[in-house]
Amino acid sequence: MDRAALVELHLHLDISISFDVATRLEPGLTRTDYELDFRGPARCGDLAEFLQTTSRQVALLQSADALRLHTEDLVRRIAAEGVVYAELRFAPLLHTAAGMAPEAAVETVVETAARASAGAGIDTTLILCSLRHFSEAESLRTADLAVRFADHAVAFDLAGDEGGFSLSDHLPAFRRVIDAGVPYTVHAGEGAGPESVTEVLDLLAPKRLGHGVRAVEDPALVERIIRDQVHLETCPSCNVQLGLYPSMAQHPVDQLYRAGASISVSTDSRTSTVTTMPEEFAALGESFGWTPADRDRVSLMAIDAAFASPEVKQRVRRRITGEITG
Ligand SMILES: [Zn+2]
């Protein structure tokens, strides 16, 4: 029996809340309300519409207890799917509505993820997100948190509405993390086209891109990504849900993979997008004939690009190739 050891680099913690945890935080919440208000629609008009559906989840995660309960639950669930290494990302500034300090939010998730991961026998790393609609000051505040918690394996990311807001307000934040040697990734080529990917590559030279898939619209850009070994954190089902592609069969992940780009496959979220890691790979098998060998090859590319220590990378590689089990 084929037992997968999966690597997930692109998972938004704050839009992955389970029904079980949601009802514990909001007693009386019905399954119907959960399906309506917590799940993103099966097909969204665009990224901005998708992002509007995330507020109910974030509203429940405004205390250390809530963050703890949810982080433990999420780590348990991804471990049950066969994920052996995951990078969990969230925007600490979104968890301050009830008075929690962003430092406390980060501390809580750092501690809980470490404890839950050890308990589940997996490895996790945290990524702190700034968001495109944030002001320059808010973005810098998030970058400062990533620098301050760098010893706890925290990286930096810019997420949110790429088509609606410019990159310029976030350049000082990236300068700060780059100067401090904090690893970073950037969402690009999801809510906007190849020109957005080019802008991010020109100005920030990231080693990884969140999504990046719309680079396929510019063959020279794909060549550049391959030449410069920029890793693409693809999230195929989420992109189909957002209407970027009509179906999985028309998603460019296979084209990018066959062209020689370094790619990984992630869910993006477990709740706003209704999928799991095994379901993603099953869908890729159905649409493109991906085999367990393709899955393992992608998992190895993912761990190579991960924000993890050499020791963790080596352990995860050995789990993927079956040298160690469990
Ligand atoms: Zn994302």
Picking from 272, 265, 276, the residue whose alpha carbon sits closest to that of residue 305 is 265
pLDDT in tens, 220-235: 999 999 999 999 999 9
Burial (CB < 10 A; 0-12, 13-18, 19+), residue 201, is buried
301 Cα to the center of ligand 1, angstroms: 19
Task: Return the pLDDT at 36.
Answer: 86
Q: Answer yes or no: is pLDDT of 180 > 80.
A: yes
pLDDT (tens digit, 9 = 90+) per residue, 70-79? 999 999 999 9
Taking phi over 0 as left and psi of -120 to 50 as alpha, with beta for the rest, 272 belongs to alpha
Look at 202 and 47; give whichever has higher pLDDT: 202
Helices (H), the chain: 19-25, 31-37, 47-52, 55-60, 64-80, 102-120, 136-148, 171-180, 194-204, 219-227, 236-241, 253-259, 277-288, 292-305, 310-320
* Residues with active-site annotation: 190
3-state secondary structure of 145: helix
pLDDT of residue 39: 84
> With 0-12 CB in 10 A as exposed, 13-18 as middle and 19+ as buried, what is 124?
buried
Question: Distance, CA 210 to ligand 1 centroid (Å)?
Answer: 6
Across 182-207, average pLDDT: 97
Ligand 1 centre and the CA of 314: distance in Å?
A: 26
Ligand 1 geometric centre to CA of 129 (Å)? 9
Query: Ligand 1: distance of its center to the CA of 211 in Å?
Result: 7
* Paired residues of 87 in beta bridges: 125
The pLDDT mean for the chain works out to 95
pTM of the model: 0.96
Which whole number is the average pLDDT over 269-281?
94
Q: Percentage of the chain with pLDDT > 90?
A: 87
Q: HSE (CB half, 13 Å, CA atoms) of 284?
A: 28
The type of residue at 314 is Q
Q: Is pLDDT of 324 > 80?
A: no
- Report the percent of the chain where pLDDT is more than 70: 98
Domains of the chain: 6-319 (3.20.20.140)
Q: Which two tokens stand for residue 278?
A: 């095994």
For residue 2, the model assigns a pLDDT of 59
Q: pLDDT tens digits for 67-117?
A: 999 999 999 999 999 999 999 999 999 999 999 999 999 999 999 999 999
Coil/strand/helix, residue 249 = helix
Residue pair 249/239 in contact by the 8 Å Cβ criterion:
no
Confidence of residue 1 (pLDDT cuts 50, 70, 90): very low
- pLDDT of residue 326 exceeding 60, the answer is no
Give the pLDDT of residue 51. Answer: 75
Cβ atoms of 297 and 321 closer than 8 Å: no
